[in-house]
Structures are given as structure tokens and as C-alpha cells.
Amino acid sequence: MAALPYWRLSSFYLFYFALLGSTAPFLALYFDHLGFSAARIGELVAIPMLMRCVAPNVWGWLGDYTGRRLAIVRFGAICTLLTFSLIFIDKSYAWLAMVMALHAFFWHAVLPQFEVITLAHLSGQASRYSQVRLWGSIGFIITVVLLGRLFEWLSLDIYPQALVLIMAGIVFASFWVPNAQPVQGPRVAGDGFLRQLRNPGVLAFYACVGLMQVSHGPYYTFLTLHLEHLGYSRGLIGLLWAVGVVAEVLIFLLMSRILARFSVRRVLLASFLLAALRWLLLGSLAEFLWVLLFAQVLHAATFGSFHAAAIHFVQRSFGPRQQGQGQALYAALAGTGGALGALYSGYSWNALGATWTFSIASVAAFAAAVIIATRMQEDRP
């Protein structure tokens, strides 16, 4: 790894996903602490995901057009910190909705462009991506465990300060990372983004990205509240979130070998089927700790193997000139699905209950498995 700025790249992933580790398990809990209903919580959680429908494509086009991806990453990191800091002014629903939208517009500018920079540094060694990305999972684990314990000892009123501190870390890491550009080959006929998007299996893949994130809606929005209602402590809930991400780290360490042996199609298919099983277990049997632990271990599939295989698929499906747009569309479809998942779970949680809400998630994941099985062509390992 002499030529690879491994620790600089890894530090960015560590802070970026530390922020996700502070929002995914605890953002809904914080809004509940402020007194909002389940429907309002679902809406507030959905707003940042909705911004992923627009922001990555805007910034992805700008990154491909200008080539100044690292400048976009740094600008996005700074603006994320500044706009989120507006949360200290007011805690009304309308103000929080604005803060969620503003900071998410810039936050979602960051990762797709950084993924292109990382792959450019890897220079044709895309299978080693997981070795860098695993530090994001480590950042998630550290944050979710520490904050879970912290919120047992102190009030959730300190939650915004914790997020601002992590955002400052993202800004610092973005200025530590050296720039890199994907190799620009000569333009050839048929290398346009829309033409590459119509290649066999690509549209089916992107539809399944959306479905996978729809299925994660109740998990990211209400799992912490669900487990609290079942009697689990906040410290234990933090550890249970960490179990899932530990499993994710382990699968990232193995992904280069897995993708060398199995096709991307088979890895994606297995990920969707295991996701369908996971949501059924969380919705119906989460009161049993051993079932809950097993369901959290399945995070290795529902995020770990799925994300690594998806990044590999996008990198393989688009040329160097379209990498930013390919990654941005991946983020945008994930955001669209995540927003729909948060919205439906917010409205169904009180009306239908946890079991039915997670069952709908399971159906979405199984539908994606059917699409992958029938519409995506088998590729060589």
C-alpha cells in the first residue's frame, strides 16, 4: 500500500460513517425526545433521504463536468457543518425540517464524489475498496456504542453538539485527503451516461437499489424506539447496532475473496433474500435476544455485501467519464428508497404496528431478489 494514501482515505470514511452512526440509531430517538409523533418523526427522517434524490445527481454532474471532485467534497463538508449548526436556533417542526433539508443537500454531495476519488487512488484494484471502506464501519461502531452509553448517563439534549463535533471531523479529514482523478480514456461512440445506463441489467440493478433502501425504512427510523418499547436499555441498543456493523466489517474484509469466487449477481441475490428474512425476524421475534443478535449479524448481507457488490457493479458498468454520475445515481436511488421507507413506516407504525411494518419491508427486499434473479444477466466472477 505504499502508493495508496490508505489512512487518509480511511480517516474520511471513519468520520463520514461516524455521522451515520450518530443519526441512524438516534435521530428518531432525539425527535421523540422533543415530543414529535411517529408520523412527524417519519417525515423528518425522510427529508435527508429525499435530498439524496436530487443532490447527488446535481453534484455528480458538476464533478464529472469540472473534474474538481475533491473541491466539491470539501465544500460539501463545510456547508454540512454550517447548515446543521442552525439547529441551535430553534426546535420547531418547520425549522427542523429546513435544517434537515439544507444540511442533507450538502452532506449528500460528499460521498459519491469521494467514492470516485477512492477508486481512482486504487487504480484498477477495485477489489481492495472494502479494505478502505471498512473504516467507515469502524467509525459507525465507535459512535453508536459511545453515544448509546452517553445517552444513558446524560440527556439527549446534548445530541446536536455530538453531531457538530463529528461533522468537524469530516471537514478536517476532507482537507487531509490528496486528490486523484479516474483515468480519462479517449471518447468513443456509445460512452454517454444514458447509453451506458441502458446496458443489460443496469436499470434492474438501480430499481433494486431503491427497493433495498425502502426495506431499510423501519430499521433506520424506528428500530431504536422499537427495542426501547420491548424493554432494552439504550446502552444495550447501541451495542446491538454495533453488532450489525461488526458483521459488516468482517464481510468487508472478505469481499475481495467473495467477489473473486462469486458473481456480483449472486452476491446481490443472496443479500436481498437475507434482507427479507432479517426484517421478518425484527418485526416478529425481536423480544428474543438470540433472534435479535442473529438478525443484526445479517447486516453483513443487507448492507455489507450488498454495498460492496453494488459499488463494484457501478464501477464496472460505467466508463471513467461517467463514474461520478453512476455513483450519484446509486446514491439518489438509495435516497429515494430510503425516504419512501421512512415515510411509509412513519405512517404505518401506529396504524399497523411493528410486525406489519417490517413485513412490508420484507416484501420489498424479496421483490428485489426476484428482479435480480430474472432481469440481471449472470457475469463472470
9-36 burial, b if ≥16 CB within 10 A, otherwise e? bbbbbbbbbbbbbbbbbbbbbbbbebeb
CA-based nearest residue to 280, from 354, 369, 373, 372: 354
Q: What is the pTM of this model?
A: 0.79
- pLDDT reading at 363 higher than 50: yes
pLDDT confidence bin for 3, thresholds 50/70/90? low
Extents of the domains making up the chain: 7-180, 194-380
Answer for the pair 367, 355: CB distance below 8 angstroms, yes or no: no
Q: Which CATH superfamily is domain 194-380 in?
A: MFS general substrate transporter like domains (1.20.1250.20)
**For position 124, what pLDDT does the model report?**
64
Answer for the pair 64, 328: CB distance below 8 angstroms, yes or no: no
- pLDDT reading at 294 higher than 70: yes
- C-alpha cell of 349? 407504525
**For position 191, what pLDDT does the model report?**
59
- pLDDT reading at 2 higher than 70: no
Burial class (CB in 10 A: 0-12, 13-18, 19+), 223: buried
pLDDT confidence bin for 218, thresholds 50/70/90? very high
Helices (H), the chain: 6-23, 27-33, 38-51, 55-66, 69-84, 93-122, 129-153, 159-176, 193-197, 202-215, 217-229, 234-261, 264-284, 289-297, 299, 306-317, 323-352, 354-375
Burial class (CB in 10 A: 0-12, 13-18, 19+), 184: exposed
Average model confidence (pLDDT) for the chain? 88
Give tens-digit pLDDT for 80-131: 999 999 999 999 999 999 999 999 999 988 888 898 888 888 876 666 777 8
**For position 71, what pLDDT does the model report?**
93
Q: Which CATH superfamily is domain 7-180 in?
A: MFS general substrate transporter like domains (1.20.1250.20)
Domains 7-180 and 194-380 share a fold: yes
Farthest CA pair distance, the chain: 62
**For position 381, what pLDDT does the model report?**
44
**For position 355, what pLDDT does the model report?**
95
* pLDDT mean over 221-240: 92
CA dist 226 and 282 (Å) reads 9
**For position 137, what pLDDT does the model report?**
85
φ/ψ bin of 135: left (φ > 0), alpha (ψ from -120 to 50), beta (otherwise): alpha
- pLDDT reading at 189 higher than 50: no
* pLDDT mean over 343-372: 95
**For position 379, what pLDDT does the model report?**
64
Percent of the chain surpassing pLDDT 90:
57
Identity of the highest mean pLDDT range in 175-179, 283-287, 335-339: 283-287
